């Protein structure tokens, strides 16, 4: 029994050290990929609003490019959108 405990103590130390190295690596990988934990509360609401705003902007830009206006009309529409 004492022999088993003597073997488990160093194994436990190596296991803890390995786990610490692994979790540090996982954090670095998450930062590199730009994946962050799900936001809650005010941050989540702000991100939803910003996403909706950007989707609306893309929809307007798609409409402008597919309407077939002349270049002068297109220039005027872009200026109107910038003034918003």
pTM of the full predicted structure?
0.37
The predicted structure's pLDDT at residue 52: 93
Domains of the chain: total: 2
Together in a domain, 33 and 43: no
Q: Please provide the distance, in angstroms rounded to a whole number, between the alpha carbons at the two ends of the chain.
A: 78
Together in a domain, 80 and 47: yes
Which three-class secondary structure state does DSSP give residue 37? coil
Closest residue by Cα to residue 63 from 51, 43, 46, 80: 80
Residue 60 belongs to domain spanning: 39-84
Together in a domain, 44 and 80: yes
Backbone torsions φ then ψ of 9, nearest 5 degrees: -60, -50
Together in a domain, 48 and 58: yes
The pLDDT tens digits along the chain (84 residues) read 677 777 778 888 888 888 899 999 988 888 877 755 566 778 888 888 999 999 999 988 888 777 766 677 777 878 888 877
Question: DSSP class of residue 67?
Answer: S
CA dist 66 and 11 (Å) reads: 66
């Amino acid at each position: 029994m004492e022999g088993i405990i003597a073997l488990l103590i160093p194994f436990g130390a190596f296991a803890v050290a390995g786990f610490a190295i692994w979790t540090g690596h996982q954090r670095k990988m998450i930062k590199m990929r730009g994946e962050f934990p799900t936001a809650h509360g005010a941050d989540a609401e702000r991100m939803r609003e910003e996403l909706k705003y950007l989707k609306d902007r893309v929809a307007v830009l798609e409409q402008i490019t597919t309407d077939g206006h002349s270049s002068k009309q297109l220039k005027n529409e872009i200026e109107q959108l910038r003034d918003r």
